[in-house]
Amino acid sequence: MKNFAFTGWSGASGPTVGAGGRGAYLDAIADNPDSGQLPSRPVITYLGGPTHPTDGISFQTSTFADPQGASTFAGMAWRIGEIEDPTAPAYDPAIDFLLEYTPIWESGVLGNFASQIAVPGSVLRVGHTYRARVRYQDNTGRWSHWSLPYQFTAGAPTALGELQGNLMITEIMYHPANPSAAEQSAGFLDDGVFEYLELRNIHATLSLNLTDVRFTKGIDFNFADGTITTLAPGAYALVVKNRAAFEYRYGTGLPIAGVWAATDSLSNSGERLKLSHGAGTGIHDFDYDDNAPWPTSPDGGGPSLVLADPGTAPDHALAANWRASYQPFGSPGTDDVAGFAGWLASQGETDPNAKPNGGPFTNAMVYALGADLVANPAALFPGGTLQPGAGAERHLVFTYVRRSGAADVMYLVEVGDSFTAWQSGPAVTETLSTLPNGDGTETLTVRILTPVSTVPRLYARLKISIAP
């Protein structure tokens, strides 16, 4: 049947069909009224990379030619259609048969000749097979035949790794605090109108292109339709439920990329949230929850759900990588840094020197060491080892853990050969490494420059000072 329709066929029964099959014959009948007057069929050429990344699909077409003359160009059109391909990675035999006849993207009629075109990555799905074609129109209204197809299977976008490693979902306000009396008087009667999501580019120097970035689960939002399509290093972008309500509570001037679909809301009981590239390639795809081990106070208590240490690009699916915001209503578009006083209040404590829950550390030490962020606070006591130095020398190496981003805390490693004379500074110690732990803390390793063999005894201690 395929040979009969499209290739050509002869056999013991039925008529002989020439080259091109019955399709070519029907084309000839259709062309007969305009025989010899149609623009020449264009030739399409692929310009992108060998893996056909969804964000790098572009084509070039041949020069316009027409029996009526070279100056008769009136328009051109491009199209992409998906086809049935059992060899494609994403092939699903359970879905309806796919026909190229139904386009998944069309350029529409372009009145100016452009030999090249880029296909939007948002229309292509990784692992699916497509055919691209182009055709011309002359100023008599006659269209050429569509070009022969260029067939390809879409590969992963080139920007995927860059986005997965640097674009973080840093804050989820899924169940805001109830509206205040003033907010209700302003017409904001439902807590849901204050919902928002926050993203951040954690890279120090690289700007991120958000044109093909979308939320596709939880809420629907396309950054190409918003006001922020490029995210500078360290910058934030917010997507909100209701802009007027959001700005009433948090003020104006924050980096709002746009408003998500009016029919969407974040679930108060947790749900799947997916940030995608293009037609659904996952950047971050996870389920948040309002039950332990996830933080529970963001479930209507006022705080938001905050990614604890975004600079380490943590796994968004792990509850241990999230905490409640220090700020009582979240901190959209800014660092969630409470300082010690705000942190102390958020813990329901007033005395910096009290030891909460009978633990080994005072409140001040819990804050400075990040003991509230780790599973085993007792393991945070500083420690030391001896390591080889030059020749036969050995040096004391001191290790301690601190809260990431605690700008109001000063950590000082002091050294002495008695308990009364302590020294510190670059002439006494050197920091060997600072390693993030992925839980909002980081481990520092410091070497004592004085060899242990040159003194009768050597002590090291960590001095913590918190700015008022």
Give the chain's domains with CATH numbers.
36-153 (2.60.40.10), 164-336 (no CATH), 378-466 (2.60.40.10)
Q: What is the pLDDT of residues 405-439, one digit of tens each?
A: 787 899 999 999 888 889 999 999 999 999 887 67
Residue 54 CA to residue 56 CA, distance in Å, equals 6
Residue 218 CA to residue 423 CA, distance in Å, equals 55
Q: Is the overall model pTM greater than 0.75, yes or no?
A: no
Q: What is the pLDDT of residue 72?
A: 96
Q: What is the pLDDT of residues 71-84, one digit of tens each?
A: 999 999 999 999 99
Q: What is the pLDDT of residues 12-63, one digit of tens each?
A: 666 676 675 555 555 655 556 676 899 999 999 999 999 999 999 999 999 9
Residue 346: pLDDT band (50, 70, 90) is confident
Between 341 and 168, the more confident residue is 168
Tokens of 61: 């077409």
Picking from 64, 245, 77, 49, the residue whose alpha carbon sits closest to that of residue 158 is: 49
Residue 118: C-alpha distances to residues 9, 250, 345 (Å): 38, 40, 54
Residue 110 CA to residue 333 CA, distance in Å, equals 41
Q: What is the 3-state secondary structure (H, E, C) of 239-301?
A: EECCHHHHHHHHCCCCCEEEECCCCCCCCCCCCEEEEEECCCEEEEEEECCCCCCCCCCCCCC
Picking from 41, 22, 155, 2, the residue whose alpha carbon sits closest to that of residue 88 is: 155
Between CA 311 and CA 315, with CA 312 as vertex, the angle to 5 degrees is: 120
Residue 367: pLDDT above 60?
Answer: yes
Residue 462: pLDDT band (50, 70, 90) is very high
Residue 167 CA to residue 188 CA, distance in Å, equals 31
Residue 344: pLDDT band (50, 70, 90) is confident
Residue 39 CA to residue 65 CA, distance in Å, equals 6
Residue 72 amino acid letter: T
User: Mean pLDDT lowest for which of 229-233, 253-257, 293-297?
Assistant: 293-297
Residue 6 per-residue DSSP state: I
**Percent share of the chain, pLDDT over 90:** 70
Residue 8 per-residue DSSP state: -
Q: What is the pLDDT of residue 303?
A: 87
Q: What is the pLDDT of residue 357?
A: 82
Residue 3: pLDDT above 70?
Answer: no
Residue 57: C-alpha distances to residues 28, 53, 67, 105, 147 (Å): 33, 7, 32, 13, 17
Residue 302 CA to residue 175 CA, distance in Å, equals 8
Q: What is the pLDDT of residues 254-275, one digit of tens each?
A: 999 999 998 999 999 999 999 9
Residue 288 CA to residue 367 CA, distance in Å, equals 26
For all residues of the chain together, what is the average pLDDT?
90
Between 307 and 70, the more confident residue is 307
Residue 186: pLDDT band (50, 70, 90) is very high
Between 192 and 26, the more confident residue is 192
No. of helices (H) and no. of strands (E), the chain:
7, 25
**Percent share of the chain, pLDDT over 70:** 92
Q: What is the pLDDT of residue 403?
A: 85
Picking from 165, 159, 133, the residue whose alpha carbon sits closest to that of residue 146 is: 133
Q: What is the pLDDT of residue 95?
A: 86
- Give the largest CA-CA distance in the chain: 109
Q: What is the pLDDT of residue 395?
A: 94
What H or E segment, with its residue span, contains residue 29?
helix 21-31
